């Protein structure tokens, strides 16, 4: 192990120039650095990465580029050393490194991790042990605050291979400081002592059961793990053991109770230990009193185990040995733990020796008690014994002693002291030192010693001196420039800021010096979240050794933000190594405002051009007005816009909502339309633009009932802009209205824009309305022409049908050998009946006719005064023109027949006409009955004339139904049953 440590340190020293050059460089996942997972010859690996079994292989295979400490070849020397020692050790060890608490561990610690391995490698230590995070967090924070932590026994409930169990550990956390003096991580040597604790617990439990034997109880309290008990009666040489003892060594329990000789007992002792055991027994028999001796014995498992015999030899008054009771303890685990602790102490000593810092332990008076080997090197101390016990403040320059003593007093109060000062080494070499002084507490938490960690910062101080000299030379130049100039050191702390920088930031140069500029003026984002320095392009110029430029937001002293343009350039020394950064910055708020104004003007012009083109080409009134309303919202920044038509109703002038933009139409539909109130009248009447920064404060607002202002649920409006849209004729077509919930949103510029938009809209709307009116006139003319043609066609159809009926009537009327005057009279009567039906249909526009009207008109036209003898009754039934003509002619023939031969030929005769509509599955049917009474006796004719044939045959065919004629003695009975055509 010592050889390995020497190899690691030697390799690290050879690599030291590289580390100085690359310290602090970011190695992101996109780096071209070769991954540790690449196949390489193991002999070419640095010593600290070699070996380590499975954990070592896993560590080498991990891609560390994305971690804060970068690739292994760039790790700090302290981390490389710790990893090298850890991988070479069989003791469970791990290293926690960086702000992410990254876990690195060796093969021995893998057994403690159980199923958490291998995913634990490279993860956050507290995330790995999530189930005990609350227990570990305070201890980890103490280590990261520079406090060494040692635990002899801590109880933790861990998940082990999926099972939650109680575990006990002994460990020590040793903080490790980085090159800046801050704690970069800590190193831990640990040991699981669960078994030992279980044994101790069982022993304590067995104490209650062993009260009967006071000697054994006393011995058991001092024991770690009891194997068994014995009692040796020395005068009789009778050696008895308990059953547990006998079983442990394969002895017959009955012999253990009856008695054994010493030879049988020591037969299981390791040959190398027998002589020592016999000598120890003889010695205690000789002197008497307590006895304790450790040796190895062969147990029933066939293996040798370390045990400890604890007993006591009691003597009589004359000094004769009488009894020798005792217990056997299993000390295998205890010896292993003690060995591990000794190894841990030795390792800690070597770790301290490998540190490049000077680590010292002082007593509370400030006298030196310890100094690490690395510390002796940088302090040029050849022999520590020559300075042991010296008063530490005496090593410092007289001007620094007060700071040294103050830091010691701080540590004695339990806090951490820190200072920087000048002192020479033991050989007189001048050095600057950064010193951290912390207390070493005792078990009660009170300072017992003082720990001092001193780091050589001479190179840093010299660099700062160089920068200050450079600053002095640049002051005269830089304070006369308008550009803000900052000069940063290698830690990115500000060492210079010119007058323009003070004006830009609002901070005096003294307030910026010595502080990271990022932490003062660039530490948060506009959303209030933290801005990590690792993401800042300004601070990347130093580690990247490259010039960076761009735009960022700085934070003013009051917390507000302002935009800046910057250029950050690294300062390189004669070897090309960065030693600082020059940052130039300027406020670009006015520049961005100009650019923003130009962009807004561009968008306005684009919107105006687009709107003008759209309204010039659009003839659809609704789309045109919607385009104008949308453009108004875009140009003014209104939350919503609307166009209202100017209409006149029974209540006077009002506006009708036509289009809406920026809000759902449902927001307005529940409200009545605006009226010509004091606020709306100027727009209704076309008196000009009405613009208000706060309409609620306008004296014209809220003067009208019932709401006295905006109704409940109305969109909130504070800023108000209304522009009338007036046609070429002077008519106020309507108005464009825009609203915003915040006051002062509309400007004179917006007013001018909307006047232009309203003028374009008025012309376009005039054109659209003219186009619409023309389209309406064209459509009306087309409909009139179509109606005229329809009427001509209908007239033609009706004339043809009428002529066909007349022709048929004439043919039938003059067909028989009737006298010409009779035939002419019949023909005229039938024409009259046809004319009456036509007159009825004409009154109904030849669309439909009521059945009652058809019967009544036909009867009156035929029977004249005798029509009073006819009664008609039935529901209102509407029939088509064709059905009406057919029924009218049938009623005429029935009436004529009644006058000549039936009921109407006598004053006492009557005719009852009844009808009804009967519902069927297919469609309704008309059932009509003509029933005569009181006339001359009726007999069926031997030959039916034209009238009866027309009723019985022609009407049935025309109606697609059935007609029945019954010649009853009391009078003719005609029944018509036919489907009722749809009208």
Write out the DSSP string of 243-282: HHHHHHTT--HHHHHH-B-HHHHGGGB-HHHHHHHHHHHH
Question: 881-900 and 820-843 are packed helices; what angle lies between their axes, rounded to 10 degrees?
Answer: 140
Element (H, E) at 730: none
Over the stretch 41-77, which tens digit does the pLDDT of each residue have? 555 677 778 888 999 999 998 889 888 888 888 888 8
In a domain, residue 798? The reply is: no
Q: Place 36 in a pLDDT band, splitting at 50, 70 and 90.
A: very low
Q: Place 423 in a pLDDT band, splitting at 50, 70 and 90.
A: very high
The whole-number average pLDDT for the span 262-270 is 83
Same domain, 824 and 900: yes
Any residues with CB less than 8 A from the CB of 368 and at least 6 apart, and which?
360, 361, 362, 387, 388, 389, 390, 392
Range scoring the smallest mean pLDDT among 3-12, 408-417, 835-844: 3-12
914-918: long-range contacts at Cβ-Cβ below 8 A with a sequence spacing of 24 or more?
914/872, 914/873, 914/874, 915/851, 915/873, 915/874, 915/875, 915/877, 916/874, 916/875, 917/875, 917/877, 917/980
- Strands 910-918 and 870-873 turn out to be parallel
- Token pair for residue 768? 């659209």
Residue 511 burial (CB count, 10 A): 15
- Measured distance CA(545)–CA(539) in Å, rounded: 11
Peptide bond into 118 cis (omega under 30): yes
Task: Report how far Cα 350 is from the mean position of its chain's Cα atoms.
Answer: 50
The whole-number average pLDDT for the span 253-260 is 81
Residue the block writes with tokens 């990261």: 144
| Spatial CA neighbour of 308 closest among 286, 285, 278, 335 | 335
DSSP state of 965: E
- Token pair for residue 519? 């932490």
Task: Give the pLDDT confidence score for residue 784 in this predicted structure.
Answer: 75
In the predicted model, is pLDDT for residue 22 greater than 50?
no
Same domain, 230 and 277: yes
Q: Is the dihedral of CA 122, 123, 129, 135 positive or negative?
A: positive
| Spatial CA neighbour of 533 closest among 491, 563, 573 | 491
- Token pair for residue 936? 């001359």
Is the CB of residue 551 less than 8 Å from the CB of residue 533? Answer: no
- Token pair for residue 581? 């950064």
Cα-based distances in Å from 715 to 636, 719, 724: 18, 12, 22
Over the stretch 601-644, which tens digit does the pLDDT of each residue have? 776 666 666 666 666 666 677 787 888 888 888 888 898 888 88
Task: Give the pLDDT confidence score for residue 888 in this predicted structure.
Answer: 81
The whole-number average pLDDT for the span 936-942 is 83
Q: What is the number of domains present in the chain? A: 6
> What letters, b where the CB count within 10 A reaches 16 and e where it falls short, cover 480-509?
eeebbbbbbbbebbbbbbbbbbbebbebeb
In a domain, residue 782? The reply is: no
Element (H, E) at 452: strand 447-456
DSSP 890-925: HHHHHHHHHHHTSGGGSTT-EEEEEEEEE--SSS-E
**Domain range enclosing 15:** 2-192
| Spatial CA neighbour of 642 closest among 652, 632, 650, 634 | 632
Residue 8 burial (CB count, 10 A): 25
**What average pLDDT does the chain have?**
80
Task: Report how far Cα 818 is from the mean position of its chain's Cα atoms.
Answer: 107
In the predicted model, is pLDDT for residue 458 greater than 80?
yes
Any residues with CB less than 8 A from the CB of 201 and at least 6 apart, and which?
none
> Which of 456, 491, 507 represents a domain boundary (last residue)?
456
Question: Could you tell me which residue, 247 or 603, shows the higher pLDDT?
Answer: 247
DSSP 400-447: GHHHHHHHHHHHHTTS-EEEEEEEE-TT--EEEEEEEEEEEE-TTSSE
In a domain, residue 351? The reply is: no
Task: Give the pLDDT confidence score for residue 250 in this predicted structure.
Answer: 73
The whole-number average pLDDT for the span 724-742 is 86
The whole-number average pLDDT for the span 430-436 is 92
In a domain, residue 53? The reply is: yes
Q: Place 901 in a pLDDT band, splitting at 50, 70 and 90.
A: confident
Task: Give the pLDDT confidence score for residue 469 in this predicted structure.
Answer: 75
Same domain, 443 and 468: no
- Measured distance CA(698)–CA(700) in Å, rounded: 5
Task: Give the pLDDT confidence score for residue 397 in this predicted structure.
Answer: 87
- Token pair for residue 538? 């300004």
The whole-number average pLDDT for the span 782-786 is 79
Is the CB of residue 112 less than 8 Å from the CB of residue 92? Answer: yes
Backbone angles phi, psi at 58, to 5 degrees: -65, -40
Cα-based distances in Å from 787 to 216, 790, 792, 839: 130, 5, 9, 22
DSSP state of 113: H
Q: Place 216 in a pLDDT band, splitting at 50, 70 and 90.
A: very low
Q: Place 450 in a pLDDT band, splitting at 50, 70 and 90.
A: very high
Is the CB of residue 522 less than 8 Å from the CB of residue 531? Answer: yes
Same domain, 680 and 729: yes
Residue 94 burial (CB count, 10 A): 25
CATH code for the domain of 46: 3.30.450.20
Over the stretch 292-324, which tens digit does the pLDDT of each residue have? 999 998 877 788 888 888 999 999 888 899 999
> Which of 408, 423, 456 represents a domain boundary (last residue)?
456
Same domain, 233 and 175: no
Question: 332-354 and 194-209 are packed helices; what angle lies between their axes, rounded to 10 degrees?
Answer: 140
In the predicted model, is pLDDT for residue 27 greater than 80?
no
Task: Give the pLDDT confidence score for residue 16 in this predicted structure.
Answer: 39
The whole-number average pLDDT for the span 125-145 is 93
Task: Give the pLDDT confidence score for residue 11 in this predicted structure.
Answer: 41
In a domain, residue 785? The reply is: no
Task: Give the pLDDT confidence score for residue 851 in this predicted structure.
Answer: 86
> Which of 431, 456, 481 represents a domain boundary (last residue)?
456
CATH code for the domain of 723: 3.30.450.40
In the predicted model, is pLDDT for residue 173 greater than 50?
yes
Residue 973 burial (10 A CB sphere; 0-12, 13-18, 19+)? middle
The whole-number average pLDDT for the span 391-408 is 91
Same domain, 465 and 450: no
The whole-number average pLDDT for the span 664-681 is 69
Same domain, 957 and 894: yes
- Measured distance CA(477)–CA(479) in Å, rounded: 6
Question: Could you tell me which residue, 482 or 478, shows the higher pLDDT?
Answer: 482
Same domain, 575 and 642: no
Q: Place 921 in a pLDDT band, splitting at 50, 70 and 90.
A: confident
Task: Give the pLDDT confidence score for residue 10 in this predicted structure.
Answer: 42
Cα-based distances in Å from 133 to 123, 127, 445, 472: 14, 7, 23, 52
Task: Give the pLDDT confidence score for residue 479 in this predicted structure.
Answer: 72
The whole-number average pLDDT for the span 577-582 is 89
Same domain, 427 and 493: no
Over the stretch 682-732, which tens digit does the pLDDT of each residue have? 877 788 888 998 888 887 776 665 656 666 667 788 898 999 988 888 888
Query: In angstroms, how far apart are the furthest CA atoms of the chain?
Result: 189
The whole-number average pLDDT for the span 378-401 is 90
- Token pair for residue 512? 């910026």
In a domain, residue 797? The reply is: no
- Measured distance CA(930)–CA(890) in Å, rounded: 11
Question: 194-209 and 214-222 are packed helices; what angle lies between their axes, rounded to 10 degrees?
Answer: 170
Task: Give the pLDDT confidence score for residue 785 in this predicted structure.
Answer: 75
- Strands 417-424 and 304-315 turn out to be unpaired
In the predicted model, is pLDDT for residue 796 greater than 80?
no
In the predicted model, is pLDDT for residue 17 greater than 50?
no
The whole-number average pLDDT for the span 647-669 is 66
Backbone angles phi, psi at 120, to 5 degrees: -70, -25
In a domain, residue 889? The reply is: yes
The whole-number average pLDDT for the span 504-526 is 90
Same domain, 661 and 768: yes
Task: Give the pLDDT confidence score for residue 403 in this predicted structure.
Answer: 92
- Measured distance CA(810)–CA(805) in Å, rounded: 9
- Measured distance CA(495)–CA(142) in Å, rounded: 33
Please, what is the Cα angle at 83 between 78 and 87, to 5 degrees? 155
Residue 443 burial (10 A CB sphere; 0-12, 13-18, 19+)? exposed
CATH code for the domain of 902: 3.30.565.10
DSSP 65-101: TTSTT-SGGGS-HHHHHHHHHHHT-SS-EEEEETTTT
SS3 344: helix
Is the CB of residue 837 less than 8 Å from the CB of residue 888? Answer: yes
- Measured distance CA(890)–CA(961) in Å, rounded: 14
- Measured distance CA(102)–CA(124) in Å, rounded: 5
Same domain, 100 and 183: yes
Same domain, 424 and 538: no
| Spatial CA neighbour of 117 closest among 37, 50, 55, 166 | 55
| Spatial CA neighbour of 676 closest among 706, 651, 712 | 651
In a domain, residue 788? The reply is: no
In the predicted model, is pLDDT for residue 564 greater than 70?
yes
Is the CB of residue 612 less than 8 Å from the CB of residue 758? Answer: no
- Token pair for residue 527? 């959303």
């Amino acid at each position: 192990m010592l050889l390995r440590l020497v190899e690691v340190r030697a390799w690290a020293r050879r690599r030291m120039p590289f580390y100085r050059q690359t310290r602090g460089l970011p190695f992101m996942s996109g780096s071209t650095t070769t991954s540790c997972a690449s196949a390489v010859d193991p002999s070419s690996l640095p010593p600290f990465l070699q070996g380590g079994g499975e954990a070592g292989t896993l560590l080498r295979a991990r891609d560390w580029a994305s971690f804060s400490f970068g690739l292994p070849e760039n790790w700090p020397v302290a981390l490389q050393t710790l990893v090298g020692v850890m991988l070479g050790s069989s003791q469970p060890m791990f290293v926690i490194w960086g702000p992410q608490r990254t876990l690195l561990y060796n093969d021995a610690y893998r057994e403690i991790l159980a199923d958490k391995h291998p995913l634990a490698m490279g993860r956050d230590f507290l995330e790995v042990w999530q189930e005990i995070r609350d227990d570990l967090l305070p201890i980890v924070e103490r280590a990261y605050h520079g406090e060494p932590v040692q635990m002899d026994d801590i109880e933790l409930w861990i998940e082990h291979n999926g099972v939650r169990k109680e575990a006990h550990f002994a460990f020590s956390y040793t903080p490790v400081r980085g090159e800046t003096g801050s704690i970069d991580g800590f190193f831990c040597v640990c040991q699981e002592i669960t078994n030992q604790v279980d044994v101790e617990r069982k022993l304590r439990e067995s104490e209650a059961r062993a009260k009967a034997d006071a000697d054994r109880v006393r011995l058991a309290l001092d024991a770690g793990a009891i194997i068994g008990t014995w009692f040796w009666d020395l005068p009789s040489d009778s050696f008895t053991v308990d059953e547990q003892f006998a079983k442990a060594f394969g002895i017959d329990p009955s012999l253990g109770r009856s008695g054994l000789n010493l030879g049988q007992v020591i037969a299981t002792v390791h040959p190398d230990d027998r002589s020592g055991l016999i000598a120890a027994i003889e010695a205690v028999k000789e002197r008497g009193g307590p006895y304790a001796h450790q040796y190895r014995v062969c147990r029933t498992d066939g293996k040798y185990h370390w045990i400890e015999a604890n007993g006591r030899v009691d003597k009589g008054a004359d000094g004769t040995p009488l009894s020798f009771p005792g217990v056997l303890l299993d000390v295998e685990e205890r010896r292993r733990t003690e060995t591990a602790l000794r190894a841990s102490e030795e390792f800690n000593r070597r770790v301290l020796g490998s540190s490049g810092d000077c680590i010292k332990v002082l007593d509370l008076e400030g006298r030196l008690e310890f100094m690490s080997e690395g510390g002796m090197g940088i302090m040029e101390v050849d022999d520590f014994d020559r300075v042991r016990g010296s008063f530490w403040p005496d090593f410092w320059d007289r001007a620094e002693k007060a700071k040294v003593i103050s830091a010691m007093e701080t540590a004695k109060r339990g806090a951490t002291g820190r200072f920087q000062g000048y002192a020479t080494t033991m050989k007189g070499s001048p050095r600057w030192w950064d010193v951290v002084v912390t207390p070493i507490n005792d078990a009660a938490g009170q300072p017992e010693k003082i720990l001092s960690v001193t780091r050589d910062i001479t190179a840093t101080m010299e660099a700062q001196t160089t920068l200050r000299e450079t600053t002095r030379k640049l002051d005269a130049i830089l304070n006369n420039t308008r550009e803000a100039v900052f000069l940063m050191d290698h830690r990115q702390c500000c060492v210079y800021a010119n007058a323009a920088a003070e004006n830009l930031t609002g901070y005096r140069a003294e307030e910026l010096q010595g502080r990271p500029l990022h932490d003062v003026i660039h530490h948060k984002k506009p959303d209030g979240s933290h801005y990590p320095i690792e993401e800042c392009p300004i601070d990347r110029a130093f580690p990247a050794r490259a010039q960076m430029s761009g735009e960022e937001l700085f934070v003013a002293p009051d917390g507000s933000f302002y935009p800046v343009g910057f250029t950050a350039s690294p300062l390189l020394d004669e070897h090309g190594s960065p030693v600082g950064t020059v940052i130039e910055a300027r406020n670009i708020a006015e520049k961005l405002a100009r650019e923003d104004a130009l962009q807004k003007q561009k968008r306005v012009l684009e919107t105006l051009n687009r709107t003008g083109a759209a309204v010039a080409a659009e003839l659809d009134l609704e789309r045109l007005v919607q385009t104008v309303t949308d453009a108004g919202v875009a140009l003014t920044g209104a939350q919503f816009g609307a166009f209202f038509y100017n209409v006149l109703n029974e209540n006077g002038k009002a506006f009708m909502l036509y289009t809406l933009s920026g809000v759902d139409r449902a927001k307005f539909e529940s409200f009545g339309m605006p009226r010509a109130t004091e606020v709306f009248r100027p727009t209704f009447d076309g008196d000009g633009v009405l613009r208000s920064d706060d309409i609620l404060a306008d004296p014209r607002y809220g003067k009208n009932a019932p709401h006295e202002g905006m109704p409940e649920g109305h969109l909130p409006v504070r800023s108000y802009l209304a522009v009338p849209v007036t046609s070429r004729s002077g008519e106020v077509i309507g108005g464009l209205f825009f609203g915003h919930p915040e006051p002062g949103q509309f400007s004179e510029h917006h007013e001018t824009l909307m006047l232009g938009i309203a003028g374009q809209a008025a012309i376009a709307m005039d054109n659209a309305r003219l186009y619409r009116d023309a389209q309406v006139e064209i459509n009306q003319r087309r409909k009139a022409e179509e109606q005229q043609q329809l009427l001509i066609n209908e007239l033609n159809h009706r004339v043809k049908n009428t002529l066909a009926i007349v022709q048929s009537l004439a043919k039938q009327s003059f067909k028989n050998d009737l006298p010409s005057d009779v035939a002419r009279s019949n023909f005229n009567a039938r024409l009259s009946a046809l004319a009456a039906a036509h007159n009825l249909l004409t009154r109904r526009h030849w669309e439909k006719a009521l059945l009652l009207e058809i019967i009544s008109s036909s009867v009156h036209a035929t029977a004249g005064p005798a029509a009073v003898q006819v009664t008609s009754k039935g529901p209102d039934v509407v029939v088509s023109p064709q059905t009406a003509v057919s029924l009218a002619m049938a009623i005429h023939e029935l009436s004529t027949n009644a006058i000549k031969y039936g009921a109407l030929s006598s004053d006492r005769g009557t005719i009852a006409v009844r009808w009804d509509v009967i519902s069927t599955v297919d469609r309704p049917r008309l059932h009509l009955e003509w029933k005569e009474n009181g006339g001359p006796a009726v007999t069926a004719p031997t030959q039916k004339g034209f009238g009866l044939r027309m009723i019985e045959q022609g009407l049935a065919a025309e109606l697609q139904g059935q007609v029945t004629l019954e010649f009853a003695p009391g009078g003719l009975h005609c029944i018509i049953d036919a489907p009722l055509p749809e009208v």
